Structures are given as C-alpha cells and as structure tokens.
Structure 1
Amino acid sequence: MLTRRSRKEAPTSPQSPKKKTDVLSKSPSKAKKTTPARGKSKSVERKARTRSRSASKKNTSIPRLILEKVDVSDVKNSDRPKRKKSAESPKFKKSPTPVTEVNDKRQSVSPYANKSNESLKSGRQSRLRSYNDDEDYNGKYKTSGGTQFPKIIFDGVLGNVVLTLFLPAIVILAKIALKAKGDLIPFPRGYLRLGNYYDEQAFLWTAVIVCIQILISFIPLSKKTEGLKDEFVPRFYRFTGFVNLIFGTLIVIGMIYFNCPLNVILDIVSKKTVPHVVASTLIALVVSIIIYIKEQKVGSKSFLSKFLNGNSNNPTVGPLNVKLTLYRYSILLTVLYNSLVILESLKNSINIYLIVLSGMQILYAIDKLLFEFNLLSSFYLQRENVGLLSILQQFLLPAINFLPIQILLSKNIPVNFILLGIVSVVYLFGLILQRYSDYIKYKYKTNTAQARNPAGLKTVITMNGKTIIVGGFWSLIRFPNYLGCILVHLAIILPVFDPTLSSLQMLWPVLLYPLYYIVTLVFRSIKVSEYCQLQYGYAWDHQYATKWNLIPKIF
C-alpha cells in the first residue's frame, strides 16, 4: 500500500492519460491557467513562402536557346512546314475603303495631332493643289483627305463656256441699247448687218494701245519683289503700275504737243463702242491662244478646261507677267478714257456730274496702280488661273466702266447737290474700306513686323501656324475689301440711276456696271471661302468671329 508521499513520487506511465477529474478536483484558485500557443504572423508566413520559392528556383536549371544560321535558299519548299488552317479562324474580307481613307478619317478628329510642321505644310500644299485640279470633273472639289466640297455654279467647263459667250454678248447688247435708248424690241436694223460690228479705225487703235502697254511692261522699271513664302513655286514680281501710269501720261502729253488726233480715241469709245468691244474680244482671243500654246504641256486637264479656265495662275512670256500686264491695261484705259472726257468737257459746257464721276473713276484707278503691290496677298494674283474668261474680263472692263459716263455724254441730268454729297460720302467710305483692308491683309500675309497682330487687331492662330484676323471690320464680315469695292461702284452709278419706269427702260444697260462687280465679287467671295476652308480647316468654320462674307446677317 502506497502512502501519500509515495504516490507523489511514483512515476506516471506515458500510457495513462491524465484524467479530467484530477484537474477539476483541484480548487479553482490553485488551478494553473493554461495559455494557448501563439501562432506565427501572416507576414512571417509570407516571408517563409518567398524564401522557399527562391530556393526552389535556384535549384532548377534555366534552359538555353541556341540560334543557328540557316540558309533559306537551301531549304526546299517541301521541307517547310505548312500552316494548317483552323476551321475556327475567321475569314477577313477586304475593306471596301482604302487604308489611306480610313487613316484620314481617323485623323479628322484631331488633324494636327502628332504632326510636324513639315508634314502639315506638305499636306496643306497637296490639298491646295487639288483645289485647282479640274480633271475628271464630277461637280465637287476633292481634297487629299477625302473631304469633298460642292463646286460653285458656273465653275465647271460648261459654266465657263456659257460665261465666255455671255460676257461679250451682254456688253455688246448694252452698248446697242444705249444708242437705241434702251429699246431692243424690235432689234435695231442697223446692227442686223455684220458690217456694223467691224471698224478698221477701232481695231487699229485698240491694237496700238495693247502693243504700247506690252512694250512698257517689258521695261524693268522697278526692282523685283519676292512672292509669298507659302507659294508652291517661288516667284518674283515687278509692280510697276504707277510707273506705267507716268509713262502713259507722258505719251498722251507728247501726242497733244505734236497735235495727234486724241479725239479719235474718244470717238471710238463713245460712238464706235460696238466695234471697239468686238476688237477687244478678238484680241483677247488671240492672247489666250498664245498662252494656251505656251502652257499646254503643263498639267493634265482637258482642252476646254485649259483654254477657258486657264492652266497656270501666273503665265509669263519672257520677263512679261501676263496677268499683271492685263490688269494694268484695263486700269490705264479707264484713266485714259475718263481723262479725255474731262478735257473735252472743259472745252465745252461744264457738266458737274460728268467731271465728278470721271474724277472718281480716275482716283479709284490711280489708287489701284499706286498700291499695286497689295496684290501680292490677293486671291486674284495667287490662285486664279489665266484663261480666255479672265482675259476677256480684263479687256472688256474699260468698256464696262465707261457705261455711266456714256449716259452722261448723251443726256444732260440736272445737278442735285444733296445727292452729290451722299455719293461722295459713300464713295470715300468704300475707297477707304477697301484700301485699309487690302493694306492690313498685305501686312500680315507678307510676314512683316505686324505679321502676328496687324494694327493691333484681334487674331486667331490656327493649328498649322496661320493667322486669321477676326477683329475690326473682320468681326462683322469676312471680306471688307470686296464690300468697299462694291460701294465705290454703287456710288458712281447713283447720280445716273433714276428709279422711274420710263428712266429704267432707257438706263437699264447702266445697271450692268454695278451688277458686273457685284456678281464677280460675290462669286469670288464664295470661292475664297472654300479655299480658306481647305487652308485653315477647323478654325475657318468654328473659330472665326463671323460667318458672313459681305453683308452681316444676310450673306
């Protein structure tokens, strides 16, 4: 029998488990509190995992890839493995639109993103080249980016044919109507014979004046002026308009000194007007044929498109610039005709209207010759081609300008000084508006000191670095210079125009004078707008201050 002491010292067998009764039998105060074993933290477990993975990677061997040079020419086609076409692989159809068009459509969202200045310049030049390309005419202007603009009416080959026949015909009818006092029904019998459309003296003097102008233009009377930097081909111009005017004045003074019959020229313009218009038309036809023969190898347009609409915007014959020569010819003849009218009026009874209106035309013509260098920034000099239609316009312009003067020569209109004051104000405003607009446009086009902000006006710089003026008159209309030109010619016609029905029957041919300028400049404003849309892109339609070309809120 074991005592209590021997029980305590007796070894406990490992197989005898400790009974719960022994623990529970002890008193709660003396019972030993057991704490659970603390587990490892999650961070320690993660470190252990990463160490184990790195150790396993060190033990694994890394495979090596050995490349060998193989001559492809030695391998036979039969030895090459053929790629099996899987039934699940989709069949891609060819896109109906070329890749270039798709890319251009994607770029239309941001056409100037990630492009250098050179790429923008080349893209703009390609678009502007395609603007004047009339080959395969389908009624739309095409750009290199796939954008299409509708062509303006009378700008295709058919329209040019109609205008080429219509312009001299309407001028001849207006001249005949002035002689018949506006009554063309029935048609005057005298002009039913072809002999009345030809006069040897009229043909001779018209040809002599054209030859004198050409000879003066051959003389290098001024230094060369470099063209705009954005021209496709660098050009140089000689703006000798005012010098030509001085030469022409000296020739007239010499003719007066040697008693040459200057009255013959006035008789041709005022009395033999129809043969004079016919002679100008035939000479224009000869000049256009010469230009066509010289420029026919340039471009790939059709015969009618080259001959009527022109193939080059600045054709030259040796040192002679044809466009500038014809421009000076029309202006100098206007000065000559009106000067002879004033001299003849001073000899006889003075007609105030005749002197004032002739003086207005002379002042306007001298202004154009004096600031001829402003043509450098004009759409006429830079973009319009020289064909039969444009040559006809320059040759017939002196006869059109002489229409209101011809009315005053045949009819004595009483002077209204209030009307004369209104005419003077409208004329001066139009002249100043045109000269100011042309001068500002010339300043920023030629990259002078005021190129970025001419005259402190508000401007918008486009993404391709071009500047658009949106302040001043340009905040109301896009072409204030065209509006100024129209106001000048409307002011000249006001003293002659009488709104009564009897007067309209006789004076309707005079309306051809302002209508010619209105139709021409409206047509040109639409054409320039389409050109600027190609050049400036998004800024022209969305960042411009106004949408109106000539008249605010109307057109």
Structure 2
Amino acid sequence: MGNSHQSRFSTDIHIPYGTQQASQERSVTMPATKYQTGDTVMGRWPGSSLYYEVKVLRFDTRSHLYTVIYKDGTELELREQDIKTASGFQTRSRSRSRSRSPGRRRSRSRSPARTTRRSSSRTAAAVAAAAITESAPSTRRDIKLKDTLEVRLTQEDTKAAENNSNNKHEKKEENNTASKVNEKSEAKVEAEPVKNRYNLRRRKDDGDAKPAESQPEQPEDKEATVAAAPASTSLDFGGKIGAYFWLLFLPAWVLFVILQVNLEDPSLANFPPQLPPLEAFWDAQALGFVILWILFQALLHVLPVGKLSEGMPLRSGERLKYRTNGLFAIVASAAAVAAAVYQGVDLTYIHSRFLQLATATLLISVLLSIYLYTRSRYAPSDQLALGGNSGNLVYDFFKGRELNPRIKSFDLKFFCEMRPGLIGWCLINFAMALAEMKNQGLDAPSYAMILVNLFQLLYVVDGLWNEEAILTTMDLMHDGFGFMLAFGDLVWVPFTYTLQAYYLVGHPNPLSLPAVAAIVILKLAGFYIFRKSNSEKNAFRRNPSDPKLSHLKTIPTATGKSLLVSGWWGVVRHPNYLGDLIMALAWSLPCGFNHLLPWYYMIYFIILLVHRDSRDMSDCRRKYGSAWDKYCRTVPYRIIPRVY
C-alpha cells in the first residue's frame, strides 16, 4: 500500500482468444454487431489517425468495445467508430508524395529528412516521447527510421488553427474541402498546450504492419475527443468477493498485530491476542492528535516552497502539476518535533496510545474513502481510473474510481501517498526510541533501535528527495484513489512499518559491533541497487532522448514504447524490487530471531512484490504481445537472479 519506493499496495488479465464457433453461439442471444469474430478489418491506432490491419477477436456488449489483435500479437480494445472495412482506404506511396510541387510547404514538411515544421515544437515532441515510453529509452545509436516516432500535434482549437499564417497560405492553394481538413490537422502548436492531444505514428513501419491512410473525414470528426474510461472487466485482489474480504481483513489485521506485539511473549503460540474492552480502542485526544498532524502536513504541502513538477500525460494529453516539496516538509516536521520535545511534550504518548492512534487514523481513512467514492459518482468519465470502474459499489469503493481527485490544485492522492503516513512513520520510530530509553532505563537507544531508525529514515528521506519519481509509478498513473490507497497510506504504512521499532521497546535485542557492521553493509547494498535502478528508469521516462542514457539497450514494441534490457534492468525484470527486499531484510535483522513478528514486514513485502510482478506480467503481455515474449527470454528472472 503506498509506494514502491513508493510501492506498497497497489493489473490487467490477458483475455484468451475467441473463436468463430463461440461467436456464432453468442449471436443467438446477443444483438447483431457490425463486425464479427474473425473479420479482418482496419483499426485505428489509439491516439493517432493511422489504421492498421487487425483481426476481430470479440465484442463486449457491456462496454461496446471490440477486442482486436494486431499482427505482432498486441491486443487492444477499440470503439466501433475506430474500425473500418478495408475498402475506402488509400495507401500512401512515396511516388505520390514526391510528385507534389517542391514549392509546397505542406509536401516538404512530410519528408522524413525535413525538420522545419517539427523544429518549432521540438520541446513538445520530447515531452510526448517521454510520455509514451514504458520502462526504457531508445538509444541514440540505435535510432533508425524504422523505430523512430514522429510526434504530430493535432490542434483542437479551430480558431487557433485559422490564425496560423502558413495554414492560411496553404488553404488558398488547396481547392477541395478534404485538403483543407488535412491542412487544419497539421497546424502548428499554439500557446495553449492543454487543448492539444498527441498523435503518435511511425515514420516507417514493418512490412507486415503497414499503416493505411483513411479517406478524409468530415470536419466534425476531426474534433479531438477524450476516450471515456470503459467499464473494468479485469478485477484485481479476488474481484468483487475479494473486495469484501480485504475491507474487513486489513483493518482487523492491523489492530490484531498491534495487540500481539504488546504481549510479553508475542509468539505465534499466543496468537490471536485477547481482545480488550471496546473503550480501549478509542481516545478522543488521539483523534485530535491525528487530525492536527494531517492538517500540519497539508499546510506544509501547500506552502509555495519547492518546485511545481509535471505528472505523466493523462488520456486527454493533459499533464497535472504537483508541488514537490517533500524534503522541506520533513525538515520542517523535524524542527516542529524538536521544538515540542524542548517544550516538554512527552512523545512516549505515541507508544502508550498506539492502538488508539491507529483506530483514529482508520476512522479518518474510512471517512476519506466515502468522500472519494461519493465525489467520483459526479466525476467526468474520462477522469475515472481504468481499473476501478466495474459498476460494483464495494469493489469500486475499495479500488478507487477517480484517478486524480483534486480540491482545486490540491491533489489528494499525491498528498496522502507522500506526507502524513510517510513522515508519520519517522515520527513514530523516534517516539519508540524515546519509549525504549524510558522503559529499559537506558541513557541512549540500543544499537538495534538506532539501526532501525536510521535505515527507515534514510528510506523516507530518499523518497522525499526523489519525490518526482512517484509521478511515474503505478499508484499515481493507473490506480484510482479509494479505500485501498487511503487506508494503505494513512494506516498501513505508519502502523505496520514501525513494528520493528515497536517490538524493540519491549523486547530488546543486543547487537555486537561486527553484527552492526554486517547489517549496515547489507543495507547499503540494497539501497544502492534500489536507487540506481530506479534512477535509470525514472530518468528515461522523463527524457528518453537524454544522451547520458544512449548506452542502454532496449526492445521496441508495436505501441512505440521500449523495454529496457541493460543496466540493472538486464539482470532481473524488477531490480528495484530486489533492492527493496534486501533493505527489508536489513530492517528485520536487528530484531533477532526470537519471534516471527518483527519479520512480518519482510514476509508481507515478499507477497506484495510477487503479486505486483504478476500484475505487471499479465498487463505487459496483453499490451506488448510478441515483444514482451522476447523481453522475457532476454531477461528470464523476475526479482532474484537465478532464483525467481
């Protein structure tokens, strides 16, 4: 839950091929469709004006979408208006483009060797190229006409297009309406990028997947429309039944674990712990403390400190802005905590009221989730997440319907992912160190407590220092904001990731200096792998044309995106997960081997990352087809080299 730096809880299922027989059987009860299973037609590539030869696999009567397969094995869902019969298409040839007058500005700009028109929008082209790349850059050395993308920015504002002087000149030269429409579609980028959408097309495609240019459409068809989120058919976490289970299990598990660690002997033989009276779960002062902490973090977040960072492009092409001042927030929080301690505030209150604080935070996360679901019912369909729009109330409440819920410019999901819970994690650890000194009569925290505090503080500070990286994660880009993330960010992270520190308060574990040195080396190794691999990935997603990344090898896909197969990403498919697991091991070792409870985080994290890997596998196989199979052969191991 949260992040994978930033990843802590956060998917598509490969749909099998349909058959002609199944189609005939369904036709008895289903309404007639324009295209039948097995038909070979021309399908528009999403986000572009180009059509490719595809085969119809099935038609979903609920979402009214056709599932089609391209010649490289890539499966996509298309609307009926994005599919046409083979008739009515006119294949573009080189002789046709060369026959045009060299004095024509339009024909010159189409030549792959000419860059006059594209140079005016070079910055926008770089941004769009970064947006379409999944996990790896195309190297400058390997850039060929075959694999290079030309970014064409289609102007939606008709008035802006008419104000383009070159466009006016071309319209005078053209005598038919169809040519005028095509001229408008190639207008230069105007000053309002939010009104544009990106169309991506290859300059030169493989022989068996040649694009065909459709006959000119009517002007009204040229108006750019944002695709609405289709109804979710691939459900995660056990589907609708699983949503009921997790809604009940997750809060109960957090409370049970807190009760278990308070036992004198927190072994599995004493699980589950005896339930205290209900009044032991509630404390109004604890609720006030949690609310005050969240408001304080919100205040730090909205202060005009730090820079405004752009997120990845949405389906509409829009890029939201985020205030990334996390490092300032944690420094200001540390200063506020130090001032409170200096004024005599007893932070061991956090240890003695840990159960009540968890209950109060759980209540806030539930109320926030109800608000998020309610407002999502009134959100435009294009602002819904692709995975949380199933139509089932419980599932959508759990998974989250709206992708980027905002109150004006205040992004609720980004704030909860990075601030109250993450910085609260460090505050709780510090309070546990003070409680250990008080309960064990120590003048300073033990070596084990110091290691746990420093390791996890480093992890949080690194995440806030590289706060922009979360903008490219699954949580921010794909998952809706509902109970899963709200509970994960506000409750799961601060009240389960602190179990090692909480455990050491009542169950000290002396460490020798050689043991301390060995654990530190292990931590640093995991941190290096984690940070290095994440830096490679995030740097490329931001700027795939960066010369510093030209040495990286990639596998191109039919979608225009590339798969990274060098550096740490050539060792295993998820090297950042590998680094995360090594760090998790270093966090648990200081607690010793007397009980399984402090190893809970390690066990949970293995399950989480294996689940995330399976989600990535099914999603990528559906999106990239044969390119993904080649990638899996090139990088056979998922997380641990020669093991898994």
Contact persistence 2:530–2:577 (CA under 8 A): yes
Aligned residue number for residue 499 of structure 2: 403
Structure 1 residue 331: Cα displacement: 1.3
**1:166-245 mapped onto 2 (5 Å cutoff):** 166-180=249-263, 181-182=265-266, 185=270, 191-229=275-313, 231-234=315-318, 235-245=320-330
SS in 1 for 2:590: coil
Structure 1 residue 476: Cα displacement: 2.5
Q: Which runs of 4+ in 1 moved over 6 A?
A: 125-128, 344-347
Among the aligned pairs, what percent are the same residue?
23
Aligned residue number for residue 510 of structure 1: 598
Structure 1 residue 285: Cα displacement: 0.4
Aligned residue number for residue 165 of structure 1: 248
Contact persistence 2:403–2:479 (CA under 8 A): yes
* Residue 365 of structure 1 pairs with residue 460 of structure 2: yes
Aligned residue number for residue 305 of structure 1: 395
* Residue 331 of structure 1 pairs with residue 422 of structure 2: yes
Cα deviations by residue, 1:115-151 (Å, 9 ceiling, x for unpaired): 3799xxxxxx999955xx42xx4xxx3xxxxxxxxx6
* Amino acid across the alignment from 2:55: K
SS in 1 for 2:362: helix
**1:385-464 mapped onto 2 (5 Å cutoff):** 385-396=480-491, 397-450=493-546, 454=549, 456-464=551-559
Cα deviations by residue, 1:100-125 (Å, 9 ceiling, x for unpaired): 6433437533467123799xxxxxx9
Contact persistence 1:128–1:535 (CA under 8 A): no
Aligned residue number for residue 540 of structure 1: 628
Contact persistence 2:530–2:579 (CA under 8 A): yes
Aligned residue number for residue 71 of structure 2: 109
**Structure 1 CA distance, aligned partners of 2:631 and 2:250?**
38
Structure 1 residue 322: Cα displacement: 1.2
**Structure 2 CA distance, aligned partners of 1:116 and 1:547?**
36
Structure 1 residue 477: Cα displacement: 1.4
Structure 1 residue 431: Cα displacement: 1.1
Aligned residue number for residue 641 of structure 2: 552
Q: How many aligned positions are there?
A: 428
Aligned residue number for residue 189 of structure 2: none
Structure 1 residue 360: Cα displacement: 0.8
**Structure 2 CA distance, aligned partners of 1:435 and 1:307?**
34
Q: Structure 1 residues 157, 350: CA separation in 2 closer, same or farther (over 3 Å shift)? A: same
TM-score under structure 2 length normalisation:
0.61
**Structure 2 CA distance, aligned partners of 1:484 and 1:166?**
29
Contact persistence 1:241–1:372 (CA under 8 A): yes
SS in 2 for 1:238: strand
Cα deviations by residue, 1:258-287 (Å, 9 ceiling, x for unpaired): x15142xx322x222222221111110011
Q: Structure 1 residues 114, 276: CA separation in 2 closer, same or farther (over 3 Å shift)? A: same
Aligned residue number for residue 56 of structure 1: none
**Structure 2 CA distance, aligned partners of 1:128 and 1:459?**
32
User: Which structure's residues are more often helix, by fraction?
Assistant: 1
Q: Structure 1 residues 195, 455: CA separation in 2 closer, same or farther (over 3 Å shift)? A: farther
Unaligned runs of 5+ in 1: 1-92, 119-124, 142-150
User: Which structure's residues are more often strand, by fraction?
Assistant: 2
User: What is the root-mean-square deviation in Å for CA atoms of aligned residues?
Assistant: 3.1
TM-score under structure 1 length normalisation:
0.70
Contact persistence 1:548–1:554 (CA under 8 A): yes
SS in 2 for 1:195: helix
Structure 1 residue 554: Cα displacement: 4.2
Structure 1 residue 528: Cα displacement: 2.3
**Structure 1 CA distance, aligned partners of 2:262 and 2:624?**
50
Cα deviations by residue, 1:134-188 (Å, 9 ceiling, x for unpaired): 2xx4xxx3xxxxxxxxx65x24122122122212211211111112222675865
Aligned residue number for residue 99 of structure 1: 35
Cα deviations by residue, 1:363-396 (Å, 9 ceiling, x for unpaired): 1110011011111222221112211121111112
2:573 to 457, 478, 487: 478
* Residue 490 of structure 1 pairs with residue 579 of structure 2: no
* Amino acid across the alignment from 1:281: L
Structure 1 residue 549: Cα displacement: 2.2
Question: Which has the greater radius of gyration?
Answer: 1
Q: Structure 1 residues 273, 436: CA separation in 2 closer, same or farther (over 3 Å shift)? A: same
Aligned residue number for residue 273 of structure 1: 354
Higher relative contact order (CA 8 A, sep 6+): 2
* Amino acid across the alignment from 1:201: Q
Contact persistence 1:202–1:272 (CA under 8 A): yes
